[in-house]
Amino acid sequence: MEFLVRVDIGWPADGDQDEFARLLSAERERARVLASEGIIRRMWRVPGQQANWGLWEAPDATALHEALTSLPLFPWLSIEVEPLAAHPTDPERPGGR
């Protein structure tokens, strides 16, 4: 099942920038692993923001939550999840009604 996931990073502007750089690097490494496992399908930057929209895939919301909490920056993230259903005119995976 696919999910549309919006992630906003809430690292404080006056927080430790070295720690942030270290966590961000670990975050991207973890994201690459999730991508290689087919869990992260697409990811886009929200222009002007430390935020992203992502297309995630997981068997259900429990598995998705496990993947999201595996992100090193998770305690600083505000995350909104939208469940997605198949659409008959989707070019890649048409279905549903």
Asked if 45 interacts with its own copies (CB under 8 A), we say yes
Asked if 95 interacts with its own copies (CB under 8 A), we say yes
∠ CA 21-63-96, nearest 5°, is: 115
Binder of its own copies out of 18, 26, 72, 79 (CB under 8 A)? 79
Contacts of residue 84, Cβ cutoff 8 Å, sequence gap at least 6: 1, 2, 3, 4
Asked if 60 interacts with its own copies (CB under 8 A), we say yes
Tokens read off for 91: 């070019």
> Least distance (Å) from its own copies to the CB of residue 18?
14
Asked if 49 interacts with its own copies (CB under 8 A), we say yes
Q: Report the distance separating Cα 27 and Cα 46, nearest Å.
A: 17
Asked if 18 interacts with its own copies (CB under 8 A), we say no
Q: Report the distance separating Cα 67 and Cα 59, nearest Å.
A: 11
Distance of CA 11 to the CA centre of its chain: 16
Contacts with its own copies, residue ranges (CB under 8 A): 1-5, 10, 12-15, 28, 31-32, 35, 40-49, 52-53, 55, 60-62, 64-66, 68-69, 75-77, 79-92, 95-97
